Amino acid sequence: MRRFYFDKNDMHGDMIRISGNDVNHIKNVLRMNIGERVVANDKEVNDYYCVIEDMDSTQVLLRVESYRKCAAELKTKLYLFQALPKQDKMELIVQKSVELGVHEIIPMATSRCVVKLDDKRQEKRLLRWQSIAESAAKQSARGIIPRVNNIMKFNDAIAYAKSLEYSIIPYEHAKGMDESRQCMDEAAKCSSVGIFIGPEGGFEESEIEHAFMQGIKPVSLGDRILRTETAGMCVLSILMFKLS
């Protein structure tokens, strides 16, 4: 069934109002009719199974027939701290990490990031990444639309991760897969986990030390060097598998 997201204040009793771009999509692209059924999600893990009751050029009105909590959310909230990669790789990272169950993505500026974005370009990129997150959430039937946070400096990102229960920082010079396995097992027991991924040039040793001092565990992902866009997906896949 087609899935749409709505704002909580657009629900009154058993009626839900869909507005914005989705109206054109429902009416003119999907050519849906009154009486057809859709799933409306309140972006807070609640799925409402609805029938289209009415529509015009500005809104689609849905009547709720039944309710089910969305089963698609992982029991641990995964926060991907991704150092800004080159070109448009971030778009792929946003899309794939949403499919794999990420809760929030925090683009991060680290000392070896090549990409520098001025305020105006940052704003444009953030809007684009958020819209990619929304499409990916719809496509993969997520119960929330994962947020793409503002770009944070490395130190601010580390401070932000303080509010999480556990965090890891994959580092290609970290040793020992047994330790990595233990860290992943530990992470899967927590309610929120941060995953820090470096840019193409990797993290500076001083960044790893700083993270370590703040209680963030350096982990190995094996004896091969993964590209920045692969490393995050690797960790998300491992955790998604343990958490599903």
* Contact residues: ligand SAH, CB under 6 A: 170-172, 174, 197-198, 201-203, 220-222, 224-226, 228, 231
Least separation in angstroms between residue 184's CB and ligand SAH is: 12
Which of 40, 231 has the CB closer to ligand SAH?
Answer: 231
DSSP-derived 3-state class of residue 90: helix
| Residue with smaller CB distance to ligand SAH, 129 or 203 | 203
Q: Which residues pair with 108 in a beta bridge?
A: 83, 152
Let me know: does 188 contact 236? Beta carbons within 8 Å: no
| Residue (34 or 225) nearer to ligand SAH, CB | 225
C-beta of 220: minimal distance to ligand SAH in Å? 5
Nearer to ligand SAH by Cβ, of 99 and 172: the residue is 172
Could you tell me the maximum CA-CA distance found in the chain, to the nearest angstrom?
A: 61
Instruction: Give the angle subtended at the CA of 236 by the CAs of 168 and 199, to the nearest 5°.
Output: 65
Nearer to ligand SAH, 20 or 222 (CB): 222
Cα–Cα distance for residue pair 152/17, rounded to 1 Å: 35
- Whole-number minimum distance, CB 180 to ligand SAH, in Å? 8
User: 6 and 41 in contact (C-beta within 8 Å)?
Assistant: yes
Shortest Cβ 203–ligand SAH spacing (Å): 5
Please identify, using beta-carbon distances, which residue of 10 and 201 lies nearer to ligand SAH.
201
Q: How many CB atoms lie under 10 A from the CB of residue 92?
A: 14
Beta bridge partners of 51: 37, 63
Q: Which is nearer to ligand SAH, 151 or 216 (CB)?
A: 216
Provide, rounded to whole angstroms, the least separation between the CB of residue 115 and ligand SAH: 14
Residue 11: Cβ within 10 Å count? 17
CB of 81 to ligand SAH, least distance (A): 10
Question: Are the C-beta atoms of residues 96 and 233 closer than 8 Å to each other?
Answer: yes
- CA 226 from chain centre, in angstroms, equals 21
| Torsion region of 40: left, alpha or beta (phi above 0 gives left; psi -120 to 50 gives alpha) | beta
Q: Which residue is nearest to ligand SAH (CB)?
A: 198
Q: State the Cα–Cα distance between residues 1 and 173, nearest whole angstrom.
A: 46
Q: Closest distance between ligand SAH and the C-beta of residue 134, in Å?
A: 26
